[in-house]
C-alpha cells in the first residue's frame, strides 16, 4: 500500500470526492491513441483507493461519467462505457481483498441493461464490507440529483403524506444520493479547471475545495496525502466565527 502521514481521525476528512479530469489532455500530451488517456485514467484509481483505506477515509466518491458526458462523440461514449464495465470487473476482487463496499450513484435508466446488472451485482457482493466505501458516479449530475429528490417529496405531498410546509432542507437531504452517508468534506478537481461541473452540489455545500494542475492519470497518493494534510490545517467554521470555533475546541 501507499505510504501516508498519520493524522488523528478527528481531523481527517470522512468523505473525499474527486472530479477526475484531464484524461484526454494526458493522452494528447503523451501521443497516445485516441481514447487511451481514459485507459490511463482508469489505472490511476487503484493507488488512490489504497491510500484512502490505509489512511482511514470512510467514503471516496469519484466522478466517472457525468450526465453531460452523453453529449460527447458516440465513439468516446462507447469507450467510456466499456471502461466502466472493465473497471467494475477489476474492482470486485480488490473490494474483496480490502473489504471495501462498492456503490454507484446516478441515473441508471440511461445505461445498458448489462451495465446496470453488473453494477447491481457488485453492490450486492460488497454490501457488507466496512473498511471503506468507494462510490462511482455514472450518468450523474448534481442538478438531476436535487430534482430527483424534490420529485420524491412532491409525490408525498400529492399523496397527502406530507404537507408542503414540511418540506425543508433536512427533508430534501433525506432523498439525495448518498443521504445515508457523511457529507463531502473535501472535493478535489484535477486537470487545472476551476469549476464543480455539476458534481455533488448538495452534498458538497460545506466541502473544502482543492484544485490541482495535475492531470488525473498523473495524480497519485503522495499529492493526495499533501492535500489531506492541508485539509487538517484548515479551520472549518460552518457559518460561525473563528472565535466561536476556538471556544468550542477548548477542553472542558
Catalytic residues: 21, 69
Torsions phi, psi of 101, nearest 5?
-80, 135
Nearest C-alpha neighbor of 69 from the set 84, 59, 87, 48: 84
Distances (CA, A) of 216 to 48, 67, 76, 119, 202: 11, 20, 17, 23, 24
172: buried, middle or exposed (CB in 10 Å: 19+, 13-18, 0-12)?
Answer: middle
Cβ neighbours around 141 below 10 Å, total: 21
As given in the structure block, the three cell numbers for residue 34 are: 485516441
Helices 45-55 & 74-98 angle (0-180, nearest 10): 30
DSSP string, 138-206: EEE-HHHHHHHHHHHHHHHHHTTSS-GGG--HHHHHTTSTTTTSPPPSEEEE-TT----TTSSTTTTTT
Amino acid at each position: 500500500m501507499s505510504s501516508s502521514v498519520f493524522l488523528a481521525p478527528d481531523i481527517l476528512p470522512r468523505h473525499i470526492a474527486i472530479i477526475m479530469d484531464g484524461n484526454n489532455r494526458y493522452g494528447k500530451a503523451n501521443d497516445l491513441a485516441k481514447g487511451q488517456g481514459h485507459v490511463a485514467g482508469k489505472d490511476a484509481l487503484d493507488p488512490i483507493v489504497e491510500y484512502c483505506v490505509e489512511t482511514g477515509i470512510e467514503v471516496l466518491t469519484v466522478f466517472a461519467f457525468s450526465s453531460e458526458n452523453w453529449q460527447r462523440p458516440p465513439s468516446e461514449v462507447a469507450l467510456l462505457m466499456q471502461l466502466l464495465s472493465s473497471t467494475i470487473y477489476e474492482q470486485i476482487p480488490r473490494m474483496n481483498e480490502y473489504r471495501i463496499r462498492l456503490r454507484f450513484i446516478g441515473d441508471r435508466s440511461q445505461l445498458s441493461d448489462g451495465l446496470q446488472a453488473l453494477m447491481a451485482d457488485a453492490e450486492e457482493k460488497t454490501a457488507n464490507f466496512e473498511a471503506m466505501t468507494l462510490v462511482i458516479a455514472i450518468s450523474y449530475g448534481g442538478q438531476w440529483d436535487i430534482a430527483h429528490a424534490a420529485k420524491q417529496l412532491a409525490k408525498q405531498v400529492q399523496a397527502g403524506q406530507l404537507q408542503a410546509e414540511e418540506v425543508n432542507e433536512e427533508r430534501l437531504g433525506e432523498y439525495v444520493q448518498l443521504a445515508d452517508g457523511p457529507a463531502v468534506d473535501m472535493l478535489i478537481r484535477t486537470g487545472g479547471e476551476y469549476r464543480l461541473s455539476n458534481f455533488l452540489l448538495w452534498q458538497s455545500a460545506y466541502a473544502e475545495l482543492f484544485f490541482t494542475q495535475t492531470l488525473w492519470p498523473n495524480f497519485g497518493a503522495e499529492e493526495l496525502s499533501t492535500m489531506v494534510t492541508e485539509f487538517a490545517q484548515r479551520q472549518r467554521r460552518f457559518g460561525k466565527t473563528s472565535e466561536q470555533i476556538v471556544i468550542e475546541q477548548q477542553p472542558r
